Amino acid sequence: METLFDMSVLEQIKQAIQPERLLQTAVRLIEIPSPTCNATEVADCLASMLTEEGFDVQRPEAGWTTAPAVVVRYRTPRPGRTLQINGHLDTVHLPFIAPRVENGILYGSGASDMKGGLAAGIEALRVLRETDTLPAGNILLTAHDLHESPWGDGTQIDGLIDEGYVGDAVLLPEYLHDQLPIAGRGLAIIRITVTRSGDPVHEVLGGIEQPSVITTGAACISRLADLDRELRDNTHEVAGRDSVFLGQIEAGEIFNQSPTQLKLAGTRRWIPGTDAREVRQQFDDLIAGLNRETETETDGNFMFCRDAFELDPGHDFVTAFQETCKAVMGKPLPTGAKPFVDDGNTFMARAGIPAITHGPHATGAHTLQEQVPVAELVRVALVYALTAVSFCPSPDPKGSESQ
């Protein structure tokens, strides 16, 4: 298989990447706390940074006025495809850890997920402009809030897609580095609340006579476990199987008091080819059955996060990416499943474009120990820039009409 770009371009881009500039970009983003739904300041910082560097920056709200998104375009004068680089600026709701660099490792809130990776994507954008090595086409960089569940609902990226801020393919620098995900399950967070009327009451003072939210909760757990066993037959050769998982249960204040409320929380995942509306109806029917058959009131919340997806391994975008991996890392990445959900699922399902999640070998996501080697950020910048060089020239002489 021939390389899709001149190997001298690899060396040119490699030499143009500035690790210190990349690192400082990541540090500037990390040092601004931005828990989901509160990414205003960091988005403003990124927009100002790129405006000062002479990029064409837009700030569409995309349904979220609190923190308008950051959109940057770099266009060549030659027609071709548009490669999108997309990242989220928000972080999970954990205590803020300030950035620091020790022995070539960057630490801090968002270092792994995903301000470090986004900084690598920004460096790729800079280098492509500075070296003029993009043969044709365009780069579209988008950064946004509302990514992390359950605080965010993903609607800002939905809004960006619906408003046309979409390329012909998209790279997402999440921390999956050792395989090319070609399939992944959809995800919803499920929350169930069982309540009874009245006040908490001592067991021997009438509590034992009250409708039991714990008994209803146990029935709910049992039915969800039965459903999970049934779902084991719904499998995908790459993505895995349908599932129901419960990770939280909360009820009662003391061992001999009849509580008035019980809460359950967990996940529902489904394989490609499954209609998410049918998954939700199945959940709603289970809740309705509990309400018919018990003396308590059961409410269910089905929070849709991302849909399932499949990526065609033979797509031109995949070929360009794998050729780049071969040139940079010595061999293409093995294909596999995406273990989590991210905005790539949304781009595949909502925008209908191929999406590849690939980022640095970072660790500690969703913990207080986020960390990423600076060398890995440099590698990702190189992979992104070279993938653009391979993919953006369009086989259609009229080029792409994508934004």
The last residue of one of the domains, among 255, 287, 306, is 306
When pLDDT is cut at 50, 70 and 90, the band that residue 1 belongs to is very low
The last residue of one of the domains, among 253, 283, 306, is 306
Question: Is 397 within the bounds of a domain?
Answer: no
How far is it, in rounded angstroms, from Cα 388 to Cα 281?
41
User: Within this chain, do residues 324 and 371 fall inside the same structural domain, yes or no?
Assistant: yes
User: Within this chain, do residues 144 and 28 fall inside the same structural domain, yes or no?
Assistant: yes
Would you state the pLDDT for residue 63?
Answer: 97
Could you write out the DSSP letters of every residue in 250-284? EE-SSTTEE-SEEEEEEEEEE-TT--HHHHHHHHH
User: Within this chain, do residues 49 and 150 fall inside the same structural domain, yes or no?
Assistant: yes
Question: Is 66 within the bounds of a domain?
Answer: yes
- Token look-up 């190997």 returns 7
Segment 74-102 mean pLDDT: 97
Phi, psi dihedral angles at 172 (to 5 degrees): -130, 115
How far is it, in rounded angstroms, from Cα 126 to Cα 132?
10
146 — alpha (psi -120 to 50), left (phi > 0) or beta? left
Contact 161, 317 (CB under 8 A): no
Mean pLDDT score across all residues of the chain: 95
User: Within this chain, do residues 199 and 278 fall inside the same structural domain, yes or no?
Assistant: yes
When pLDDT is cut at 50, 70 and 90, the band that residue 268 belongs to is very high
How far is it, in rounded angstroms, from Cα 278 to Cα 275?
5
Helix, strand, coil shares, percent, the chain, to 5: 35, 25, 40
Segment 288-316 mean pLDDT: 97
How far is it, in rounded angstroms, from Cα 397 to Cα 153?
39
Q: Look at residues 254, 261, 257, 229 and name the one whose alpha carbon lies nearest to residue 243.
A: 229
The last residue of one of the domains, among 257, 273, 306, is 306
Would you state the pLDDT for residue 395?
Answer: 64
What's the pLDDT tens digit per position in 339-396? 999 999 999 999 999 999 999 999 999 999 999 999 999 999 999 999 999 999 976 5
- Give the count of beta carbons closer than 10 Å to the beta carbon of residue 337: 17
User: Within this chain, do residues 378 and 266 fall inside the same structural domain, yes or no?
Assistant: no
What are the angstrom distances between the C-alpha of 195 and each of 212, 220, 292, 369? 9, 13, 14, 38
When pLDDT is cut at 50, 70 and 90, the band that residue 399 belongs to is very low
User: Within this chain, do residues 165 and 67 fall inside the same structural domain, yes or no?
Assistant: yes
User: Within this chain, do residues 211 and 343 fall inside the same structural domain, yes or no?
Assistant: no
- Across the strands, what pairs with 82? 138
Count of residues making up the chain: 403
How far is it, in rounded angstroms, from Cα 260 to Cα 252?
8
How far is it, in rounded angstroms, from Cα 341 to Cα 270?
11
The CA-to-CA distance between both ends of the chain, in Å, stands at 31
Provide the number of structural domains found in the chain: 2
Question: Is 399 within the bounds of a domain?
Answer: no
Would you state the pLDDT for residue 167?
Answer: 98
Segment 109-138 mean pLDDT: 97
Question: Is 344 within the bounds of a domain?
Answer: yes
**What CATH code is carried by the domain that includes residue 221?**
3.30.70.360
Question: Is 1 within the bounds of a domain?
Answer: no
Question: Is 403 within the bounds of a domain?
Answer: no
Question: Is 401 within the bounds of a domain?
Answer: no
What's the pLDDT tens digit per position in 38-47? 999 999 999 9
Query: Looking at the predicted structure, is the pLDDT value of residue 112 above 50?
Result: yes
Q: Look at residues 317, 219, 316, 234 and name the one whose alpha carbon lies nearest to residue 274.
A: 234
Contact 262, 253 (CB under 8 A): no
Query: Looking at the predicted structure, is the pLDDT value of residue 54 above 90?
Result: yes
User: Within this chain, do residues 178 and 92 fall inside the same structural domain, yes or no?
Assistant: yes
User: Within this chain, do residues 237 and 359 fall inside the same structural domain, yes or no?
Assistant: no
**What CATH code is carried by the domain that includes residue 316?**
3.40.630.10
User: Within this chain, do residues 140 and 269 fall inside the same structural domain, yes or no?
Assistant: no
Which one has a higher pLDDT value, 93 or 403? 93
User: Within this chain, do residues 298 and 328 fall inside the same structural domain, yes or no?
Assistant: no
Q: 134 lies in which domain range?
A: 7-184+308-391
How far is it, in rounded angstroms, from Cα 26 to Cα 166?
24
What's the pLDDT tens digit per position in 198-256? 999 999 999 999 999 999 999 999 999 999 999 999 999 999 999 999 999 999 999 99
Query: Looking at the predicted structure, is the pLDDT value of residue 11 above 50?
Result: yes
Question: Is 272 within the bounds of a domain?
Answer: yes
| DSSP E strand boundaries for 69-131 | 70-75, 82-88, 100-102, 105-107
Segment 99-121 mean pLDDT: 98
User: Within this chain, do residues 341 and 275 fall inside the same structural domain, yes or no?
Assistant: no
